[in-house]
Amino acid sequence: MRKPGVERERADFADFYQRSRDNCLRAVLGGTGDRALAEDLVAEAFARAWSSWPKVSRHPAPAAWVVRTALNLRVSWWRRRRREVALDNHDQERLDRDNVGTDGALLNAVHRLPRRQREVVVLRIWLDLDTQSVADELGISASTVAVHLSRAIATLRAHLTPVAS
């Protein structure tokens, strides 16, 4: 026999997953540039969110928790992978293929941003968190978030705006 509280937690998590998965995937894809890797990272982050759901559900921005966890997993993955030998770029997937409903040129431009600027863009713009929430999530000040966002937007404009002749 299942307890009503467990069923409610499952329903809450399922609702959260349905509402957040695509945005989290876009955010992580913007951070990694590799669709398959982003999908794996997001799946693992959601699995971890489920295993800690009572804590994660009380987080001020659970979707940001998932994205941050996925990006942290990416760092761990990168550290393990940098010791491996690549074989003829067989694992390089292009962003312009199957880009989760986001413009491929935009994803490429975001992926070229410095890590912290990319994280700020992902959390502030794609996940629509307020500046203070982004600051809290990244462990930096709100003014630093504003600076990174300003620089990132200027860089993105320079890369994405057509040059007038």
In the chain, the amino acid numbered 25 is L
Task: Kindly give the interhelix angle for 142-160 and 131-138, rounded to the nearest 10 degrees.
Answer: 100
pLDDT digits (tens, 9 = 90+) for 21-63: 999 998 888 888 888 889 999 999 999 999 999 999 999 999 9
Tokens 């295993």 found at: 51
Structure-token pair, residue 40: 């794996």
**Lowest mean pLDDT, pick from 1-10, 69-78, 96-105:** 96-105
What is the pLDDT, as a whole number, of residue 30? 82
The distance of Cα 129 from the centroid of its chain, to the nearest Å, equals 12
- pTM of the complete model: 0.57
What is the pLDDT, as a whole number, of residue 97? 46
In the chain, the amino acid numbered 127 is L
pLDDT digits (tens, 9 = 90+) for 121-160: 888 888 888 899 889 888 999 999 999 999 999 998 888 8
What is the pLDDT, as a whole number, of residue 138? 87
Q: Residue ranges of the domains in the chain? A: 4-160
Handedness of CA 73, 95, 117, 132 (dihedral sign): negative
Residue 126: how many other CB atoms lie within 10 Å = 20
What is the pLDDT, as a whole number, of residue 99? 46
Distance CA(159)–CA(47), nearest Å, equals 36
Termini Cα distance of the chain: 71
What is the pLDDT, as a whole number, of residue 123? 85
| CATH 1.20.140 fits domain 4-160 | yes
What is the pLDDT, as a whole number, of residue 126? 81
Which residue in 126, 65, 125, 151 sits closest to 143, CA to CA? 151
pLDDT digits (tens, 9 = 90+) for 86-135: 444 444 444 444 444 556 777 888 888 998 999 898 888 888 888 998 89
What is the pLDDT, as a whole number, of residue 28? 87
